Amino acid sequence: MTAKTRIQISSNIVRLKIFGSLYLILSINTLTYAAPSGFNYDESKVPKYKLLDPGASITKSSEWPKKKTEFLKLIEEQMFGKAPEFDKKKLEVTSQKKEKIILGGQAILTQPSLHFAGSELTLLIVRPAKTTSPVPAFVGYNFNGNHTVHSDPSIQLPKGWVPRTKDKRAREKDRGSSSSRWDIKSIISQGYALITAYCGDVDPDFHDNFKNGVHSSFGKPAPNEWGTIAAWAWGLSRILDYSEIEPSIDAKRVSVIGHSRLGKTSLWAGASDGRFALVISNNSGCGGAALSKRRFGETINRINTSFPHWFCGNFKAYNNKEESLPFDQHILLSLIAPRPLYIASAEGDRWADPRGEFLSAKGAHRIYKLLGTEGLPCKEMPEVNQPVHGKIGYHIRSGKHDITSYDWQNYIKFANKHLKNISQ
């Protein structure tokens, strides 16, 4: 144990200080993550701030595309970073010829691999077995490898770096370890496919000075060029490229989804690639759906210090200077309009600022209304476990930072409402 590590014991609770103000709390029965201390969790201490009106000086919907382009460029240059252009004709695909029947005959599992920018991205696709027509799909990354999504022994293990293991390599014993986050049975039963891939196959989630993953084919990015989150979003667009040539998938009805840091990714993917039909952010917090200017829970300085590779270099100019940020996350959400957008929070996830996530969705409502949609169908934050489903959907559920079957049930219901009338 290092000199900086401290243990505090009180009653049945052990508080282990492992880094700065980050603690692990251990009790006799549970092991839970504790949000770092020293950050604001008091609404009365939220600083006064003013949000930019995305619809200022706009009186008709035809004026929005020009403004949208300006906002997109601003957020790209100051936050996520510009990704390189890609000619989808250069996407190479290799496929396992053998399909596997799973879930008692209800689903078909396939594992094609995409080759681009010197990287290999293996997809795990689970689609309904009892249909011959193209099906809509949910597309999103997993954190630790496709083998953690489902326990089937045929699912390939990642070949490269993975987090949360002793030697940073995938392990057989972790098969199905994250299956609770992927309600595959409900997805399949409602006629959807699930397409997932390991985010680390696109860019490993550690600060490697951009020497690995897709960055290795383009060199170290300039201050206004792509960080890891933009690289992940770029990879999601390559999956969408593939879905356009995959006969079993209806590429015009693909929903992009992500949890936590991958929720930040899904928002940027949806904002920067208009082909995604529906966008879902689950507990995305700072740098995702939550308003930065509130300085509630995680802050820009904290996220850029802990994860210096996620955003572009220019974003670090706003460390401890949120008031100087020329936009906020409601502008990011506005870029998705008029496509359906779902923002979800968790009551126990104060680090991700649930109220800030709701207020961001509320801030995007103006553009959704301008473009002739319902937008967010409430003015006040709804009660816990009382979802609202307009063209912007929102819920805050009981529980902690996670993605659960409750979340998936709402996402599927929301997709059923909004994707049904989109023609192939």
pLDDT at 98: 86
Question: Average pLDDT of 52-81?
Answer: 97
Looking at domain 61-419, its CATH architecture is 3-Layer(aba) Sandwich (3.40)
Q: Give the pLDDT score at 5.
A: 36
User: pLDDT band for position 424 (50/70/90)?
Assistant: low
pLDDT for 343 equals: 99
Q: What is the SS3 assignment for the chain? A: CCCCCEEEEECCEEEEEEECCEEEEECCCCEEEECCCCCCCCHHHCCCCCCCCCCCCCCCHHHHHHHHHHHHHHHHHHHHCECCCCCHHHCEEECCCCCEEEHHHCEEEECCEEEECCEEEEEEEEEECCCCCCEEEEEEEECCCHHHCCCCCCCCCCCCCCCCCCCCCCCHHHCCCCHHHCCHHHHHHCCCEEEEEEHHHCCCCCCCCCCCHHHHHCCCCCCCECCHHHHHHHHHHHHHHHHCCCCCEEEEEEEEEEECHHHHHHHHHHHHCCCCCEEEEECCCCCCCCCHHHCCCCCHHHHHHHCCCCCCHHHHHHCCCHHHCCCCHHHHHHCCCCCCEEEEEECCCHHHCHHHHHHHHHHHHHHHHHCCCCCCCCCCCCCCCCCEECCEEEEEECCCCCCCHHHHHHHHHHHHHHHCCCCC
Q: How far is CA 97 from CA 94, 105, 244, in A?
A: 9, 18, 19
Of 17 and 263, more confident: 263
pLDDT score of 11: 32
Q: Is the dihedral of CA 310, 315, 317, 321 positive or negative?
A: negative
CA angle (407, 419, 378) in 5-degree steps: 55
CA distance 127 to 333: 29
Mention every residue, 6+ apart, whose C-beta is less than 8 A from residue 230: 76, 80, 81, 82, 83, 268, 312
**Average pLDDT value for residue range 114-132:** 97
- The predicted pLDDT at position 36 comes to 81
Tell me: pLDDT of 147 over 90. Answer: yes
Q: How many other C-beta atoms lie within 10 A of the C-beta of residue 173?
A: 8
pTM for the whole structure: 0.92
pLDDT in tens, 260-274: 999 999 999 999 999
Catalytically active residues, by annotation: 260, 401
| Whole-number average pLDDT of the chain | 92
Domain boundaries, the chain: 6-34, 61-419
Burial (Cβ within 10 Å: 0-12, 13-18, ≥19) of residue 342: buried
